[in-house]
Amino acid sequence: MKFNFHIPTKIVMDDGCVAKNADLLAPMGKRALIVTGTHSAKANGSLDDLLNVLSSNGQSYVLFDKVMANPTVDCVYEGAEMAKREKADFTVAVGGGSPMDAAKAIAMLACEDIPKDKIFAGGYSKRLPLCCIPTTAGTGSETTQYAILTNHAAQTKTSLASPALFPDLALLDSKYLRSLSKDTMTNTVIDSFSHSVEGFISNRANAVSDTLALEAIKVIAGIIPAIAEWRLTDDDRAELLYASTLGGMVIAHTGTTAVHSMGYSLTYFKNIDHGRANGLLLTEFLKFTEKKRPDRVAPILKAAGYVSSDEFGKALDSLLGKREEITAQEIARYSSIAIKAKNIANCTVAPSEEDIDKLYRLSFGI
């Protein structure tokens, strides 16, 4: 057996987690740049909890609450300029994947002088100290070295990737998930599910990532009926947040697969939520992989409690509902973009552009 596994992020999960761990935030700096969206962190109580802790620690702050879904390059440069102007010496992300990804880029850009046209070139080595407080059970970004940004030049989403982007601290409190709408909870959980499934069928998977992935798959699959019927308990939400964080640990080592690269076009051109986009494609890609590597798909189905990939698909369909319409012309365009993505090489069974075209068609019934 051979593997390499490294997660430098300190992870604490507990009820009242932020208030109970003021001592972990205290040494991070004197002035925080808080990175969040326009309203969710204010609505679910997470921002108030953070501000109370910063006040008790004698730490000042400035708020950057302009992060949109699928944050842009311009957005993170604006945030970095605020960090410099306000002399922030650490960063706290509060929210879902978009604020956390934006905060990583902002924390890095506050320390690195990188022209906008070189943002995706790599070589990042410095950033401000960073704490992430996730308020969805989706991306697992609190435990990854990735920051995904909208890349208008390539008409897709592109990742910044560097060990320097791993957060220093992640504080997990599932009470912040109580205010999520059914759509948001559904889409973020599908994203989380996709991470662990894709991680298991990645050719970079290892014994540790496999163990984490199968645990997360088991947890999520067991709660899918409750999500579909919208009868989640606090225990369910805690389990889903746990599974999301595990999924982040998985893809930190395995990367994602063609499912993500294909889904990015659905988000960029069709404005389909990222998690939903993955879900629309995941079943057909699993079946595609199963034809040549049934040994990698069988453990996924067993962990989820499904007897076949068709049953896997039915479970996802209970969350997805009616699918969007897509044309053959759109598929051809999206396939030509997806095949260029780096994560195509991560697939245990790597698709050709023709395969990708067919997978889109099967996924949308055309």
In the predicted structure, residue 107 carries a pLDDT above the cut 80 = yes
8 Å CB contact between 228 and 185:
no
CA dist., res. 216 & res. 196, Å (int): 7
pLDDT one-digit tens code per residue, 110-157: 999 999 999 998 888 999 999 999 999 999 999 999 999 999 988 999
Structure pTM? 0.96
Q: What is the pLDDT of residue 310?
A: 98
How many C-beta atoms surround the C-beta of residue 76 within 10 A? 28
In the predicted structure, residue 74 carries a pLDDT above the cut 90 = yes
Q: What residue ranges do the domains of the chain occupy?
A: 10-176, 182-364
First to last CA, the chain: 44
Q: What is the pLDDT of residue 42?
A: 79
pLDDT one-digit tens code per residue, 264-307: 999 999 999 999 999 999 999 999 999 999 999 999 999 999 99
Percent of the chain with pLDDT over 90: 95
State the CATH architecture for 182-364: Up-down Bundle (1.20)
For the record, the structure tokens of 190 come out as: 């599908």
In the predicted structure, residue 40 carries a pLDDT above the cut 80 = no
CATH code 1.50.10.20 for 10-176: no
pLDDT one-digit tens code per residue, 244-260: 999 999 999 999 999 99
In the predicted structure, residue 41 carries a pLDDT above the cut 80 = no
In the predicted structure, residue 39 carries a pLDDT above the cut 80 = no
